[in-house]
Amino acid sequence: MLATMLASLGWLASKQIVAQLPATAFIGWRFLLAGGLLLLLPRCRRALQQAKASEIRKGLLLGLLLGAGLLVWVQAIIHSNRIGEGAFIASLSLLLVPPLAWLLFGLRPSRQFWLSAPIALLGLLALMANNGFQFESDQLWFLAAALMLSLHFTCNQRATVALPSLASVALQLIAGGCLGLTVAWYQGQWSLLAVPVSNEIWQWFAVSVGFATAMRYWSQTNAQGRLTPTVAAAIMLLEPIWTLLLSLTVLHEQISPWQLGGCGLILASLLVYLLPQPASTQAVKSSIPAD
């Protein structure tokens, strides 16, 4: 549960930060520094020192895929003034894993997926109601981010990286951060010191790196080993709920009855998907990090 609260704090911190700092550079430095903090842990260093070169390459490639998803996600944050709603749309990455696994690896979706998908579509329709049942730009960005992150989840599960979870996470964060900084360098905005910002923004940046990323993944990885994939995924559904509450109380965002109903339907669809199912379909669910 701590991981979900820290993750929601990351949404809030990111919204504050991108208002003053270059978004791509922020993503790059945030995840590079957070991965570096995780490498300070002795067990992380030992695991990577003992790892085979092939496992390191797998982790780095998965990290690049994660970084691409995060770069899309931060664009959604920039364009949105409703990150609470956006968190629910992004959580649909859980439901996008089965069709991707079917398309890429021939793993047929479970019965629960076919039951939950129509509910999720109704939720999206409700979110579109305020705009004449048409997607707004930020909603499309969040959907694109959900698709990218679900692709990372799917490939992460299929890659079977033989590294301890925390070491794999640290490696992927560093690779994702390097991708962000490469894109930021190409854009000519790699430095966070090029523009004057308030001390409050640097405080939010420290929170984002230390708590919302490094500590979040550390607590999440530790919890994963004690929980089944289904229970872990169910607990992670608290992330959009916390994010919505923070957006309403701290950012003073407004939410209409249609939006509230849409978020509720999306949450219901995810709960339906996580209903107990035969062991043969659990592999798809376990690709969701219980992050």
Assigned token pair, 39: 């490498």
Question: For helices 2-17 and 53-79, what crossing angle results, to 10°?
Answer: 60
- Cα 16 to Cα 74, 105, 239: the distances in Å are 12, 39, 18
pLDDT for the residue 16: 96
For the residues 92-116, what does the mean pLDDT come to? 92
- What percent of the chain is modeled with pLDDT above 90? 72
Rounded to the nearest integer, the mean pLDDT of the chain is 90
Tokens of 258: 């249609």
Measured CA distances, 108 to 92, 97, 103, 111 (Å): 18, 11, 9, 9
Q: Bigger pLDDT: 278 or 206? A: 206
Choose between 164 and 127: higher pLDDT: 127
Rounded alpha-carbon distances, angstroms, from residue 49 to 35, 42, 43, 58: 15, 11, 10, 15
Tokens in use for 268?
Answer: 């219901």
Compute the average pLDDT of residues 120-135.
Answer: 91
More confident site: 87 or 3 = 87
131 has pLDDT over 90: no
What integer pLDDT is reported at residue 280 of this predicted model? 46
What are the tens digits of pLDDT across the range 32-83?
999 999 999 999 999 999 988 989 999 999 999 999 999 999 999 999 999 9
Residue type, 62: L
pLDDT in tens, 152-198: 999 888 776 678 888 999 999 999 999 999 999 999 999 998 888 99
Query: Please, what is the end-to-end C-alpha distance for the chain in angstroms?
Result: 12
Check if the beta carbon of residue 110 is closer than 8 Å to that of residue 98: yes
The more confidently predicted of residues 280 and 223 is 223
Euclidean distance between CA atoms 9 and 14, whole angstroms: 8
Q: Look at residue 191 and give its three-state secondary structure.
A: coil
Give the chain's radius of gyration (CA, Å). Answer: 18
Domain extents for the chain? 2-285
Could you report the per-residue pLDDT of 217-257, keeping only the tens digit for each?
999 887 766 766 677 777 888 999 999 999 999 999 999 99
In the predicted model, is pLDDT for residue 291 greater than 60? no
Q: Is it the case that residue 284 has pLDDT exceeding 50? A: no
From the list 236, 240, 211, 251, the residue with the least C-alpha distance to 287 is 236
* Centroid of chain to Cα 9: 13
d(CA 90, CA 74): 12
Containing 181, the helix (H) or strand (E) segment is: helix 165-187
Nearest to 242 by CA among 221, 272, 263, 265: 263
